[in-house]
Amino acid sequence: MTESAERRIECRMERRDWMGVLARADPERLAGAWDALGLAPGFEWLRKPEFGAVMVRGRAGATGAPFNLGEMTVTRCALRLEDGRDGHAYVPGREAAKAEIAALCDALMQGPEADEVREKVIDPLAGDAEAERAHIAAKAAATKVDFFTMVRGED
Amino acid sequence: MYVAVKGGERAIENAHAWMAERRRGDREVPELALEQVAEQLSLLVDRVMAEGSLYDPGLAALAIKQARGDVVEAVFLMRAYRTTLPRFGATEPVDTGAMLCERRISATFKDLPGGQVLGPTFDYTHRLLDFKLAAEGEVPEAPVGAPREGAVPHVVSFLNAEGLIQDEPESDETPRDLTREPLDFPADRALRLQALARGDEGFLLGLAYSTQRGYARTHAFVGELRIGMVAVEIEIPELGFSVEIAEIRLTECETVNQFKGSKSEPPQFTRGYGLVFGQSERKALSMSLVDRALRWKELGEDFVGAAAQDEEFVLAHSDNVQATGFLEHIKLPHYVDFQSELELVRKMRREAGAMQEAAE
């Protein structure tokens, strides 16, 4: 893991950060981490997993007025643990199982299980994401052009 | 008299069964897995997502398999699926300045912060068929380099700093959405960009090329072309804050075009913009050239009658699902229509014959 990744994970995490890590996680990696955690809290659905779309917007000329670029698929759900904590999830794609785990983790992160969930689920997944970014950056760096100038003509 | 005709159910069923069999192909050959389409035909997947106007690589792979590789049919399937989805909202406008760049090149500045990064490109290949790909064999890992820290600023921001290029007015106005209201004219730039982003690549390529050949020439330089991952952030209405829920691959092109001055303003470069789902630089380039050509009115240029300047012509014909729907409907039964035409021609010929006889 890079130094910046460690820094990022160490800093105090807000709810939007862990929800983001859960949403962007690889579904299989998230399911694996959840199984390894071994928690099975009882809950009731506030909103069962539902497929939908969000309209992705861009800006004209990158910085100007917004325009509608196109939609992407999203799955959302919300649930309530037996002790009353709510968990929400919005995840990309059509991923009902992933959304359920993400909402459960979101709820658990707001109570006594937070440290354990962070250590076994959130931090490793954030590390994965950082490693993936570093991998892309390193591949791209190898294709950066180094110009050199040919000296031509007479002195 | 109108006579309803029923029939053909069995023929249709059998035709679809044969189509499915043809789609499967030789059963001795292993069936195509969706993962193979998504991983190994990824530029096709990107095109189907862009023109289908729905970012979901798994769905696009399924559409491609179902459509036997027919792009427009696959786009049609994506559009049809999209209509079944409830809309949860809209994202914050994506920040392409913060893109994790896989490719980033400029044709206007050789040395620029962040450098010229070629990325996984076909450029500079010799376009010779590689028969090694016909045989099985593993590909070696591509080399890695030491990434540079820090942001990769947009090239036009350098020109902007000097006031040398026309600025994009900042705004947070909610853009019109052509999937929610019928397209009407005049369209504003936001609506044009939406239509171009989902428009047919071939159609836009032809139009963009026409501007290069002299029909509404705008003399475009590629200020910058970048491909990479961009964060998608949405506000969660139940919670009242926003979350970065995904990273998607986008291609962005900014062109720097011929300048124009006026009595009140000194000469400035102008710009065109292209932004497309996935890795699709031909489409992004085409989009930015056509976007620039369509801006003639706002930039005080003359309408020279070129197709690429005519927003009604461009927007009404760039959607390949709409175009193919109307085009292909003429192959469906028009027996009654045609019968009446046939009657009419026979009648006219009888009358013409009678007149000729009378004249003789």
Which of chain A's residues have a Cβ under 8 Å away from the Cβ of B171? 64-66
A150 — pLDDT class (breaks 50, 70, 90): low
Q: What is the structure's pLDDT at B55?
A: 98
Q: Which of B173, B245, B253 to probe the A interface (max A CBs under 10 A)?
A: B245
Which residue from B110, B168, B177 is facing A68, i.e. has the nearest CB? B177
Q: What is the structure's pLDDT at A151?
A: 67
Which residue from A20, A66, A72 is facing B248, i.e. has the nearest CB? A72
Has residue A155 got a pLDDT over 70?
no
Q: What is the structure's pLDDT at A1?
A: 44
Q: What is the structure's pLDDT at A8?
A: 45
Q: Which residue of A has its CA nearest to B228?
A: A136
Q: What is the structure's pLDDT at A10?
A: 45
3-state secondary structure of A73: strand
Q: What is the pLDDT of residues A15-62, one digit of tens each?
A: 999 999 999 999 999 999 999 999 999 999 999 999 999 999 999 999
Q: Which of B91, B160, B179 to probe the A interface (max A CBs under 10 A)?
A: B91
Which of chain B's residues have a Cβ under 8 Å away from the Cβ of A7? none
Q: Which residue ranges make up each domain of chain A?
A: 3-141
| ipTM here | 0.93
A11 — pLDDT class (breaks 50, 70, 90): very low
CA-based nearest distance A37→chain B, Å = 23
Q: What is the pLDDT of residues B207-225, one digit of tens each?
A: 999 999 999 988 899 999 9
A153 — pLDDT class (breaks 50, 70, 90): low
Low-confidence residues of chain B, pLDDT below 70? 1-5
Contacts of B115 (CB under 8 A, 6+ apart): A144, A145, B104, B148
